[in-house]
A = this chain, B = another copy of it.
Amino acid sequence: MTVRQSLEPSRLPGDYQFVHRIRTRFAETDAMGIIHHAAYLPYLEEARVAYLRHLGHPYGDVRESGQNFAVLEVSVQYRLPLGFDEVVEVHLKAGAVSRATFQLAYLLTVDGALRATAVTVHGCVDGSGRAIRLPSWIGESLGGQSAP
């Protein structure tokens, strides 16, 4: 297995650059009475989209320019369950930027207390799904956070 994931998601909110709040939905609960583990991936995605908007590069604009950020890898560590109607703070940090891929680390907390950590690895593809170079602003926006 050639895992590209190299980021280590810190458990300290202060280590992250950005935070986005999401209130959990009843539709996302399961018969265990907690938020189903698959629902976390759209939470991470919503936080990414908010982060791109914050950086001045709304994902809608990125897509209109013919670029898509494909998800190459995802890993999530579920520490404590999320419940219905909780407000989750999704902390986000970029890193490991190369010509072809970048990574994002996430910390999910509720009232500051750890619930989950995650990492996603992304590449850039054109409209037909072919891998292309990352747009230059990625390196600039995430500058100083490049992998060695």
Contact = CB atoms under 8 A, between A and B. Distances in A.
A141 interface: no
Nearest to A11: B1
A45 B31 CA distance: 14
A98 interface: no
Contacts of A5: 75
25 contacts: A1-B9, A1-B77, A1-B117, A3-B75, A25-B45, A25-B49, A26-B36, A26-B45, A27-B30, A27-B41, A27-B45, A27-B46, A31-B34, A31-B63, A32-B68, A37-B41, A38-B45, A41-B41, A49-B85, A59-B85, A63-B84, A70-B78, A73-B78, A74-B74, A74-B75
